[in-house]
Amino acid sequence: MKKENLTKLIVLTSVIVLCAGIVAFASSLTTEIKAILTQEFTIKYYGEVQEMKDGSGNPVYPIVYNGTTYLPVRAISDMMGIPVDWDASTKTVILGTEEKPPKSVLSFEGKTSDYSSKVTDKASLTVKGANGADIVYNDGVSFRIWNGTSSANADRAYQANIGGGYTNLSFDAYVATHEDNFGKRPYEIIIYNIDNGEKLASITVMAGEIKKVEDIDITGVKKIGFAANGIQITGADNTDRAYFFNPTVE
């Protein structure tokens, strides 16, 4: 059984909490039942037989009630590597963490312009690393540096509606230009708060350099924008492109 399906089984079918040290009672919602505790069943996870245990390391077993098999939540969660907790104040079993997992910026609703776009073709997502080996990214954003030091603004930026609720933005920055400019020509990589036009980050990247950008603070920001400028007056032409590879929020 796949992990996500097994998780649904636990959450949707288990009306009894069988975690070690966790018993949920609500006087008006609790019904006494007669069920069978069986040691005859074998539990396999990805083909391997599992020995289910409670939080103290004691063996625990399935319960069968009205033809349905109920598995101990803590034992199953431990087996699958899913954190489990108990909120006594609300009588809630909590599976997993409440933190949002990292999410690609391109999975959100986006707005392009004449200067910015999504990058999905493999050729544009492939860059040579410092050791000469190809680095292939999953996705990205492109911005055309069309007017040197005056190329970027919030309206021209690629805009992603992330909806708030995230705190950090990360990506790999890269500027593609003529190879004779590699390592010589600097560019400004810009992240905007689209709602107020504020620059959330301004990062200098040299032509041909892959720069890892991490933990830009986007707390409370609903729309973010990606754009770039040349830094020198003659530091760009309209064939230069800034790339924001694998942009993710969390």
Per residue in 58-110, pLDDT tens? 999 999 999 999 999 888 888 888 888 888 888 888 887 766 678 999 999 99
Predicted TM-score (pTM) of the model is 0.63
> Is domain 103-249 annotated with CATH 2.60.120?
yes
The domain segmentation of the chain, as residue ranges, is 3-95, 103-249
Find, among 67, 77, 73, the residue nearest to 36 by Cα.
67
Give CA–CA dist 125/225, Å, rounded.
20
Give CA–CA dist 131/148, Å, rounded.
30
Q: What is the pLDDT of residues 142-189, one digit of tens each?
A: 999 988 889 999 999 999 999 998 999 999 999 999 888 888 899 999
